[in-house]
Amino acid sequence: MKTAVCIKQVVTRDWPLRPAESATWVRDDDASFEMNEPDAYALEEALRLKERHGGEVVVCSAGPARISQVIREALARGADRAIHVESDALSAAGADAVAAALAAAMQDESFDLVLTGLQSDDQGFGQTGVVLAERLGLPHATIIMEVDIAADGAGLRVKRELESGWFQWVAMPLPALLTIQSGINQLRYATLRGIMAAKRKEIRTVPLDGVASQGQRILELYVPEKTSATRFIDGSAPEAARELVRLLREEARVL
């Protein structure tokens, strides 16, 4: 099993973001970054499949030089090597441009299985994986919560999450692409040994000349207008708490 895992670097969840001067992206030049959450689950799933079926796990990541941070982290968790499609133009690119860049770099690797996260925490397209499948000519399934590889290695059965607690098993031939949902497994973290080993692992850097047509352009990015009538309760924690309890009793009458 030769498995690719597509990993995106995103701004740390708690980072206080503000729109950039241009108002078409956020100010992230001084931000801290982390691995996109569902991608961490995709990586873990790839590592588990390797433990069961053998083979190789290859991290595929597209973006500027700074994304080597998450690539190193993935290698430290146990991935074998990495492909870094390097381009500053990809740091805020659309799903199609990213999928095109990844597809070009992955084409000749002939992966048996490609895993992506379901959705990125920043752009939230939820589609880079599906577009990548289309570009690589692979069958795909999305929002996956369990992966079963057939004993003969010819195909797989996956459990898809549907809405409101429903699930469905889908069978497919290999090679295939899956988009992985958070919670599919329990994550492992890098060990010191893993971090040391990662230093010797190969990262193949693929330069990118020109970003493919984006198909969409952000004209303006802004903080959503507040429309709610939330009653904010001020004061110290004990004061606010007492006032809340009073309001819940006397105004909302829910206690």
Partner 1 sequence: MTLVIAEQRGGVLNPATWETLAAAQQMNAPVTAAVVGARVQDTAAELAAADVAEVLAVEHEALEPYTPDGFVAALAQVVEATGPERVLFPHTYQTRDHAPALAARLGRVLIPDCIGSKDRDGQRVFVRPMFQGKFVADVLPEGPAPHFASFQIGAYRADACVRGAAAATVREVAVQLDAAAIRQRPEAPFKEAKQAVDLTQAERIVAVGRGIKGQEHLPLAQELAKVLDAELAASRPICDSGWLPMDRQIGSSGQTVAPKLYLAVGISGAIQHLVGMKGARTIVAVNKDADAPIFEVADYGIVGDLFEVVPAIVAALDGD
Ligand X SMILES: Nc1ncnc2c1ncn2[C@@H]1O[C@H](COP(=O)(O)O)[C@@H](O)[C@H]1O
Ligand Y SMILES: Cc1cc2nc3c(=O)[nH]c(=O)nc-3n(C[C@H](O)[C@H](O)[C@H](O)COP(=O)(O)OP(=O)(O)OC[C@H]3O[C@@H](n4cnc5c(N)ncnc54)[C@H](O)[C@@H]3O)c2cc1C
Residue 57 interacts with ligand X (CB under 6 A): yes or no? no
Closest contact distance (angstroms) between CB of 126 and ligand Y is 6
End-to-end CA distance of the chain: 57
Beta carbon nearer to ligand Y, 116 or 119: 119
Residues 59-88 touching ligand X, rule: CB under 6 A, are 60-63
Q: Does 210 bind partner 1 (CB under 8 A)?
A: no
Using the contact rule CB under 6 A, the part of the chain among 120-128, 166-174, 199-207, 221-229 near ligand X is 120-128
CB of 80 to partner 1, least distance (A): 26
| Structure tokens that stand for 22 in this block | 């241009």
- Residues 93-112 close enough to bind ligand X by CB under 6 A: 95, 98, 102
Gap between the Cα atoms of 82 and 59, Å rounded:
4
Tokens standing for 235?
């004061």
Least distance (Å) between residue 169 CB and ligand X? 23
Residues paired with residue 60 on neighbouring β-strands, in sequence order: 6, 83
CB 76 within 8 A of CB 47: no
How far CA 83 is from CA of 45, 55, 58, 207, in Å, comes to: 19, 17, 7, 11
Cis upstream peptide for 175 (omega within 30°): yes
Q: Site residues for ligand Y, window 6-25 (CB under 6 A)?
A: 13
Q: Indicate the DSSP class of residue 187.
A: -
In angstroms, give the least distance from the CB of 118 to ligand X.
6
Please select the residue that binds partner 1; options are 151, 154, 192, 255, rule is CB under 8 A. 255
Rounded Cα–Cα distance for residues 182 and 187 (Å)? 10
Using rule CB under 8 A, residue 218 touches partner 1:
yes
116 contacts ligand X (rule: CB under 6 A): yes
Residues 60-79 that bind ligand Y (CB under 6 A): none
Each residue 37-66 as x (binds partner 1 by CB under 8 A) or -, in order, gives: x---x-------------------------
Query: What are the two backbone dihedrals, phi and then psi, of residue 178, each rounded to the nearest 5 degrees?
Result: -125, 140
The number of beta carbons lying within 10 Å of the beta carbon of residue 119 is 23
Taking alpha carbons only, the member of 135, 144, 146, 12 closest to residue 66 is 12
**Interface contacts to ligand X, rule CB under 6 A:** 6-8, 36, 38-39, 60-63, 90, 95, 98, 102, 116-117, 119-120, 123-129
**Interface contacts to ligand Y, rule CB under 6 A:** 13, 118-119, 143
